[in-house]
Amino acid sequence: MRFGVITFPGSNGDHDALKAIELGLKQPVEAIWYRETNLDGFDCILIPGGFSYGDYLRAGAIARFAPVMESVAEFAKKGGPILGMCNGFQVLTEAGMLPGALLPNGSLQFRSQWVHVQVERSDTPWTAGIDDGTVLKLPIAHGGGRYFADPKTLARLEENGQVIFRYTDASGNRAPDANPNDSLNDIAGICNEQRNIVGLMPHPERAFDTIIGGDDGIKVLSSVLEAGIAAVAGR
C-alpha cells in the first residue's frame, strides 16, 4: 500500500509521519509537496501536524486553499482513505471535509503531553484493526484542539457514530481531567459521513515505537492496511 504525506509550508509533523510509515509499518511512503495536484498511485493520504501557513488567521484556514487540497477533495470523493492528525484535522475542518471546528484550548495553554483516547468505532479505514472500546495512549501537542460543533451537528455526529476517538482516562472512563482542551463531548477525533476521512488531535505518527514512549499509534496507521485488504477482497 502506497502512503502519501502532504507537506505544507509550516508542516512539522510530515517527517514524523514519513518515518512512522517507513520504520513502523515498513510500507512505501512519499512526501507530497503542497503544490502537487496529481495524487495518482497513492492508496491513502496523511495530512500531518504542524503550523501550516503559521496558523495565520485560524489554524488550517490558509492551507485549505493550497493547490494540493483540490486533489485531496477529489481523492476523498472517490472514497480514498484520508487521515488528518492535529493540524491536519484543523485543515480538514476548515476545508469543510469534516464537520465542526477546532478552537483554542479552554486552558489557553499549549498542551504537550500523553493522553488516553478510547476508540469508539472500528468501521473506518483508520480504526479497522482496533476493537471497539480499546484505549490508546497517544501524545498531543496543540494550542487549538477544542472541538466545537453546533448542537444539531453534534447530535448528528453522535447519532451516526461519527465520533471515533474520545478522551478518557487509562481505563476508558470519561472524566473532566482526561479532556486536555475542553472539547465538546470529550471528542478527540471524528469521521465524515462516508467514513473514509478521519481527523484527530492526538499524534498516532508520534507513537510508532516504544523507544519513543509508546507504539499505540501504529494500530491507527496500520488499520488502513487491514481496511485495504478487506476492500480488495470485497472487489
Partner 1 sequence: MSRVSQEGSLQSQSTNGQRRWRADVYVTLKPVVNDPQGLAVRDGLHMLGYDEVGAVRAGKYIQVWLEAERESDAEKRMTEMCDKLLANPVIEQYRFNLVEQAHDEAE
Binding residues for partner 1 (CB under 8 A): 57-58, 61, 65, 93-94, 99-101, 103-108, 148-150, 182
List Cα–Cα distances, 58 to 26, 137, 234, in angstroms.
35, 28, 41
Does 116 participate in catalysis according to the annotation? no
Q: How far is the CB of 106 from partner 1 (least distance, A)?
A: 5
Q: How far is the CB of 91 from partner 1 (least distance, A)?
A: 12
State which residue, 103 or 231, has the beta carbon closest to partner 1.
103
State which residue, 72 or 227, has the beta carbon closest to partner 1.
72
The DSSP code sequence of 15-73 is HHHHHIIIIII---EEEEETT----TT-SEEEE--B-GGGG-SSTTTTGGGSHHHHHHH
- In 3D space, the residue among 61, 87, 92, 94 whose CA is nearest the CA of residue 76 turns out to be 92
Grid cell at residue 73:
477533495
Catalytic residue among 116, 142, 191, 205: 205
Contact 129, 225 (CB under 8 A): yes
Does 203 participate in catalysis according to the annotation? yes
Does 159 participate in catalysis according to the annotation? no
Backbone angles phi, psi at 129, to 5 degrees: -95, 10
Q: How far is the CB of 200 from partner 1 (least distance, A)?
A: 18
Q: How far is the CB of 50 from partner 1 (least distance, A)?
A: 19
Catalytic residue among 44, 86, 142, 191: 86
State which residue, 90 or 223, has the beta carbon closest to partner 1.
90
State which residue, 74 or 150, has the beta carbon closest to partner 1.
150
Catalytic residues: 86, 203, 205
